[in-house]
Structure 1
């Protein structure tokens, strides 16, 4: 028995001291666990610093009913605050009566629940109010309130560029910039040690948190005002014509920055929402693709824009198929390539392709590849569709493939690729990569800067470039977009109307895709804009010039007024407008005005003086206004602020009539001030 007792004691000693740490860790693992603490996700900003997507805090509120303060003195704090707390909770949340809250709180107190759930997902303003309520205002140890913070992602502008900015979703794949830059935005997740208590509930263990690192911020190229203009213009046409879906892309010519990208799709209830990024989806582009055809022909020097081509009355037989022009072209049929392009003749473009590339179609295909139409643009968005440019080795190649490719069929490209090509023409041949993010910021400091990227220094020779620029301008002045032109500025572009197949029904439903791709102003391009809209079946309006063209025109009109027409910089040799509103006032303020506006002055007045100003010999001249003590100040010519300052400091009661600067005063300047005198000043 003695030996057996010694053996037991030895084993106890061994387990406790030698294996103790191991068994304690096993025990702890059964009762504790780490949970992730999400970092605050970074904010996405517009180029001018407006918030496009951000995280706002929400709170789960729990109560520790075993807190020392609530149990002390037989629960004195709880009993004294129960009634008023229940009333306040009922008024704050408006979901239960006072009596129901009292019952709920009593049950939690009776169970000594250390992690009692009171309310989920309350916003920050309610959380602030909650902290001031009876009992909760005493703090965690005395009042028992536990607040668990979590965040929700919001887009303050809602529809505006919603699909481009994207969505950060917890249980499914994120999209847009939220997905592309998730690595920067999400930050580093922290940890919190949780201990299991009675009832299987876990509560935080104080002092064992590993704080998360907040995500970085993204500054985009998007301009909110421009995005609003683009979104509104596209929405107006979508609603008017009951279109199925559409996209509008606005690109800065010199840099490739995407300033706006709108994507609208029709919902089951007839409304429109940014449900998909149609700018990245590939499809048959239609007549806007004819730009690539004429670049190929002109660059190979097979023809010039003045070479003649026969439009054949808008119908031309190729093998067993017939090429049709989408619009009738009355008048002469033997026209220049330039005019055939302006009239958007499918026959004209098909004949050029067959005539010059019929025996070597891959030469034409190689031109399309050189224009980067067979590769994605590489924009910083996940999900860009892969284009298809067929060659003669393709299984679907036939003797009609080449002529149909010439006017935008049997090829698949995205609206964004079209924008990149047209932008290169606007940018004197230099092709820029489209991009959406300017920089990545951390605590207000730039940690990564993105610069414009040149894809190709020149897409063609300058001779070819000048000709295609003239042809695009001719579409607006003398072609299918003639009705869109205006007297204030010029723009250049190309209309497109493509018949779209509808699944197994083929082309029977007469669904047309309307397009317009162009840039403005034509003489000094600042922005490229591409509009692609898929119409409903059998739509009354379906041509590119009547559906997509007006969207382009509305965007161009508003942007030309806001941004493109730049004012000439102020010269050092300033000619002053003698109609300037010159007010009498404080010399110190006048000195600041002179410095800020760089206005020439004969001499600077003393800072503490009051002066009147006038323009003589193209310079501002000042004359000091004398103010006698005990006399009514002369405030004629002053603004209301300065006049009130002087008159009230002189002890006068002031009655003001009108607006502007002081025209007359009821008491003349220099009049002796009596007791409690009132002065009336009239402004104009």
Structure 2
């Protein structure tokens, strides 16, 4: 009996112990889950880390003279870590002591909330012990500079809890100017323009940042674990801001006055093919105009400006001369159940080919093409193809339209295709192709490929440069070329552009007026496309300019000479007034870069710059030495400059301040020419200094 009781007592004791232990476990589970739950969940989350992309600084797009056309500016998201050591420590009074003054300063800076509202917001984050509390998005750099000095924030991240996330926004400082050509860099949509064509160069190499997941599924950066990105390269374009402004304003005035649908104005440098300006304006729903599409690249029926190509074929084959005769039939010619009309009514019958061209007669061009090519139409098409009118220009912009030159093999070839092609119908051409052809005539027959980029730059040094490309050595014989030039000048002197001529200089060109179909409605809405293509000055062509404007239905003014012609004339007038002076390309003038303008200078100052901007460098930088600065292996590289006592210091490559300091301390009188950094000095470095000697330094 005693043995049984002893066994039962031990069994009950074990059972009670197990029960107590179970209760303790359940209690601990409850305590961990409900009392310490937030803490342990955050600890669990903190073990989840991942590398996330760290965007590189996108390169800048410059005009040829060095003005920023598209660049990135930093914006900041401001967050607070309310579990930072300085704030979460039970003994700390940092938050309590600074909340009132911090709230007031935030209200003064952003002016979007009162101090009381900011105080309430900060208290909420503090009470929730939020490790990644969002205070403000999209803070500008100047605002961020002020915010860093605010109470609590001035103590940094560990004590003050300040977390700053940097991001870049793309802006076009000149806004409308060449907006579509420069393009847009967009996060959630495809880039356009140069931003798209050169995206690989501009975007750089993405870096990595180690991020730790915290409560709420958000991530915060882990300091010291960044893989730095490689910043994008810069693009130096051929565009000239002043010329672009002239073209844009001239086009805008005509678009507004004629309530046109859309238009483009292209300015091309004759001898190189550089595009100096390219304006594209489209009418918006509210009646305003914006660079919404690159109309210079859109293909369509060019109309009468195409007659230049027809004349090249006729003159080159020797079928006609400018003095040959053609009957214009009073501007109406029936052929194969269709009728060719001249766009401007007249009473001419038999005239010279030159006169027919000057008067932009559709009948004259159609008759000549039909007379000499109707038995061998593909010979006419072959001429057009030799002029590269069946191929895109190859300009460095994605999205150029595909031109069309028909042959008898095309299914749409008909009995009237040939005569209609002669005056610019049943063919598809872009305004840029028209510019390339007219530019070839201006350039003594040499056809140049149009291009928009001079060079790709990295750290202020060119890594790739683009040179002019010859597409065709000669579009025609020298004899034909001279005849074409006389005929194009005749258009301005005696033809459809006679009202545009000026006594100050001569220019040459061709008007165009084309009836445009309006979808399923056909031609009933009387929509006309007005164009003018030409070059100036006629005796020494510097620029080719093409203007194409699509007018509204039933526009009162629609002839090429009265709509597109005045835009050409305004552009030519203003550029001629500037004496057709070409600006110095930026890469020859000093090589500014998004990141830095590298100048020789004092070692201690360069050390401060490199430290402040966190730039990698190599070489010798001391408190007293002077150094020459350059780029080597994507790092700043410094070499000491040795200036012996009593000799002329070598100040080439220095800024004015440093150059003056060294030269005047050496006892020299200094004469300064220009601005920028020193490019030359009249006394060579290392030469002995004479008494009261003067040195001339030139800067650029």
Q: Is 1:443 equivalent to 2:459 in the alignment?
A: yes
Aligned pairs for 1:502-513 (under 5 A) are 502-513=518-529
Picking from 324, 341, 346, the partner of 1:307 is 324
Gaps of 5+ in 2: 1-43, 584-667, 675-679, 683-690, 695-700
Change (3 A) 1:607 1:520: farther
Secondary structure of the residue aligned to 1:139 is helix
Contact 1:37 1:189 in 2 (8 A): yes
Contact 2:46 2:212 in 1 (8 A): no
Q: Is 1:49 equivalent to 2:69 in the alignment?
A: no
Number of residue pairs the alignment of both structures matches: 553
Secondary structure of the residue aligned to 2:226 is coil
Aligned to 1:193: 210
Contact 1:35 1:192 in 2 (8 A): yes
CA distance in 1, matches of 2:671, 2:222: 64
Secondary structure of the residue aligned to 1:428 is coil
Q: Is 1:351 equivalent to 2:367 in the alignment?
A: yes
Aligned to 1:452: 468
Q: CA deviation at 1:206?
A: 1.9
Q: Map Cα deviations across residues 15-61 of structure 1 (whole Å, 9 max, x no partner).
A: xxxxxxxxxxxx99971111111000000000000000000000011
Secondary structure of the residue aligned to 2:279 is strand
Q: CA deviation at 1:73?
A: 5.0
Aligned to 2:247: 230
Q: Is 1:116 equivalent to 2:111 in the alignment?
A: no
Q: Is 1:536 equivalent to 2:552 in the alignment?
A: yes
Contact 2:46 2:214 in 1 (8 A): no
CA distance in 2, matches of 1:211, 1:547: 54
Change (3 A) 1:591 1:456: closer
Secondary structure of the residue aligned to 2:223 is coil
Change (3 A) 1:39 1:588: closer
Q: Map Cα deviations across residues 285-315 of structure 1 (whole Å, 9 max, x no partner).
A: 0000000000000001111111111111100
Q: Is 1:296 equivalent to 2:319 in the alignment?
A: no
CA distance in 2, matches of 1:534, 1:473: 25
CA distance in 2, matches of 1:157, 1:591: 33
Secondary structure of the residue aligned to 1:441 is strand
Aligned to 2:236: 219
CA distance in 2, matches of 1:565, 1:177: 26
Aligned pairs for 1:31-110 (under 5 A) are 31-72=48-89, 74-110=91-127
Contact 2:47 2:212 in 1 (8 A): no
Change (3 A) 1:159 1:591: closer
Q: Is 1:264 equivalent to 2:277 in the alignment?
A: no
Aligned to 1:362: 378
Contact 1:287 1:498 in 2 (8 A): yes
Secondary structure of the residue aligned to 2:136 is strand
Change (3 A) 1:86 1:591: closer
Picking from 502, 511, 516, the partner of 1:495 is 511
Secondary structure of the residue aligned to 1:248 is strand
Secondary structure of the residue aligned to 1:417 is helix
Change (3 A) 1:564 1:592: closer
Aligned pairs for 1:346-495 (under 5 A) are 346-495=362-511
RMSD over equivalenced CA pairs, Å: 2.1
Gaps of 5+ in 1: 1-26, 568-586, 599-605, 610-684
Secondary structure of the residue aligned to 1:471 is helix
Contact 1:329 1:343 in 2 (8 A): no
Aligned to 2:338: 321
Q: Is 1:183 equivalent to 2:200 in the alignment?
A: yes
Return the TM-score normalized by structure 1: 0.79
CA distance in 2, matches of 1:129, 1:365: 68
Q: Is 1:126 equivalent to 2:143 in the alignment?
A: yes
Q: Map Cα deviations across residues 561-590 of structure 1 (whole Å, 9 max, x no partner).
A: 1142799xxxxxxxxxxxxxxxxxxx9799
Change (3 A) 1:381 1:102: same
Secondary structure of the residue aligned to 1:132 is coil
Contact 1:58 1:150 in 2 (8 A): yes
Change (3 A) 1:591 1:362: closer
Q: Map Cα deviations across residues 57-107 of structure 1 (whole Å, 9 max, x no partner).
A: 000111011111112353311110010001111111112221121111111
CA distance in 2, matches of 1:412, 1:362: 17
